């Protein structure tokens, strides 16, 4: 059950948007497709909805092969980044659209629409037109419209991408709660790793048309399969072949066999978090994330020579696919990362 994609391929001219992608999304879960622009995440989502036809591969929704099913028969709810509101219809008309198509009777439509508008907290705005709503309200209207027809799955394509930071944060908490109430299998696409970790139970990291790794936020952060995942999911410093998170950089005043000499270049106070930038003997620039009290204890100042002790480092050999254990006790697991066939079980 849930959604499964097997060996999906899609090419737009010279651009390979999907290159043998397989994912498995369990029934009732909330999954994020995370990746930079051009990674194929939106194409994959649109292929699941039937808005894009695959060159090869299979889409299975709740056990049914939907590969050849047109979008109108897939029973998916789809939410677009730019809302795709029907501008000539009221909020009521927008939400009622799918129900009118299904020829529900008027009283039932009215009940259902008002129930949904309450759910998305737009009751009272039913008679407005989309251009009389704010971005956040439009997106909630779009969500109500998608949910009205009781879809088997809910797909959201960068749903908060066009909204400002504050509204985005509110809406994602709200989406999380909505999912807890409705339990409809949900996939949402984002390029924002913080958003993905905040909202989703499972993450699928995509890059250049392939799945790099999938798992929970902790899996990806603590056991990244390769350099790409490590640097995409969180901040990273590179020390030769090794990678270390800025918060795993320990700053000490006395050297030992595991430290490296560094000069403090700049200290940036970002509220509670302090960003300290260093330059190493070989010219490499790195930074460490300290707390305000740690900084005060060390009494660092710019130009000072200190010693850095990388806590947990990781290195990925040549092709960047096989993780290796370095430094302290980090079990860096081999999640995903099978290059022969990029596949991922969420």
Determine if 51 is a binding residue for other proteins (CB under 8 A): yes
The region, left, alpha or beta by phi > 0 then psi within -120 to 50, assigned to residue 240 is left
Q: Which of 177, 183, 266, 297 binds other proteins (CB under 8 A)?
A: 177
Q: Which of 12, 64, 65, 70 binds other proteins (CB under 8 A)?
A: 70
What residues contact residue 74 under an 8 Å CB cut-off, 6+ apart?
49, 50, 61, 66, 152
What residues contact residue 196 under an 8 Å CB cut-off, 6+ apart?
32, 34, 190, 203, 217
Name the residue with tokens 């009777």: 105
Task: Output phi, psi for 10, to 5 deg.
Answer: -150, 130
Determine if 141 is a binding residue for other proteins (CB under 8 A): no
Q: Which of 105, 166, 240, 256 binds other proteins (CB under 8 A)?
A: 166
Q: Which of 11, 114, 162, 174 binds other proteins (CB under 8 A)?
A: 174
Tell me which residue of 91, 56, 63, 61 sits closest to 76, measured CA to CA: 61
Distance CA 335, CA 35 (A): 17
Distance CA 35, CA 41 (A): 7
Q: Which of 53, 173, 291, 296 binds other proteins (CB under 8 A)?
A: 173
Determine if 97 is a binding residue for other proteins (CB under 8 A): yes
Between 82 and 266, CB nearer to other proteins: 82
- With vertex at residue 161, the alpha carbon angle to CA 159 and CA 163, rounded to the nearest 5 degrees, is 100
Selected range binding other proteins among 106-114, 116-124, 190-198, 290-298, rule: CB under 8 A: 116-124
Number of residues that bind other proteins (CB under 8 A): 51
Q: Which of 53, 132, 291, 293 binds other proteins (CB under 8 A)?
A: 132
Determine if 77 is a binding residue for other proteins (CB under 8 A): yes
Q: Which of 29, 137, 190, 313 binds other proteins (CB under 8 A)?
A: 137
Distance CA 194, CA 64 (A): 33
Residues in contact with other proteins by the rule CB under 8 A: 49-51, 70-78, 80, 82, 84-89, 97-98, 101-102, 121-122, 124-125, 127-129, 131-132, 134-137, 140, 142, 145-146, 149, 164, 166-167, 169-171, 173-174, 177
């Amino acid at each position: 059950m849930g959604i499964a994609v097997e060996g999906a391929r899609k090419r737009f001219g010279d651009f390979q948007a999907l290159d043998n992608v397989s994912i498995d999304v369990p029934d009732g879960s909330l999954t994020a497709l995370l990746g930079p622009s051009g990674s194929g995440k939106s194409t994959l989502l649109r292929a699941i909805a039937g808005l894009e036809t695959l060159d090869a591969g299979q889409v299975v929704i709740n056990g049914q092969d939907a590969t050849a099913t047109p979008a109108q028969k897939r029973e998916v709810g789809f939410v677009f980044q730019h809302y795709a509101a029907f501008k000539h219809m009221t909020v009521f008309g927008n939400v009622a659209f799918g129900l009118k198509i299904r020829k529900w009777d008027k009283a039932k439509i009215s009940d259902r629409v008002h129930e949904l508008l309450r759910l998305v907290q737009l009751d009272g705005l039913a008679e407005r037109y989309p251009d009389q709503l704010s971005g956040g309200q439009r997106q909630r209207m779009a969500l109500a419209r998608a949910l009205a027809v009781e879809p088997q799955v809910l797909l959201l394509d960068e749903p908060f991408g066009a909204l400002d930071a504050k509204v985005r944060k509110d809406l994602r908490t709200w989406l999380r709660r909505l999912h807890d109430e409705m339990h409809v299998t949900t996939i949402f696409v984002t390029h924002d790793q913080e958003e993905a970790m905040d909202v989703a139970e499972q993450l699928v990291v995509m890059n250049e048309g392939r799945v790099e790794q999938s798992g929970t936020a902790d899996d990806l952060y603590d056991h990244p399969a390769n350099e790409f995942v490590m640097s995409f999911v969180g901040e990273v410093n590179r020390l030769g072949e090794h990678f270390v998170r800025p918060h795993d950089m320990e700053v000490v005043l006395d050297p030992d066999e595991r430290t490296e000499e560094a000069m403090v270049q700049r200290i940036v106070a970002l509220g509670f978090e302090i960003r300290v930038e260093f330059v190493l003997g070989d010219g490499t620039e790195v930074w460490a994330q300290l707390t305000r009290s740690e900084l005060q204890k060390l009494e660092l100042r710019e130009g000072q020579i200190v010693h850095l002790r990388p806590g947990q480092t990781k290195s990925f050999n040549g092709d960047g696919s096989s993780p290796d254990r370095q430094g302290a006790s980090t079990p860096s697991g081999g999640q995903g990362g099978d290059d022969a066939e990029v596949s991922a079980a969420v």
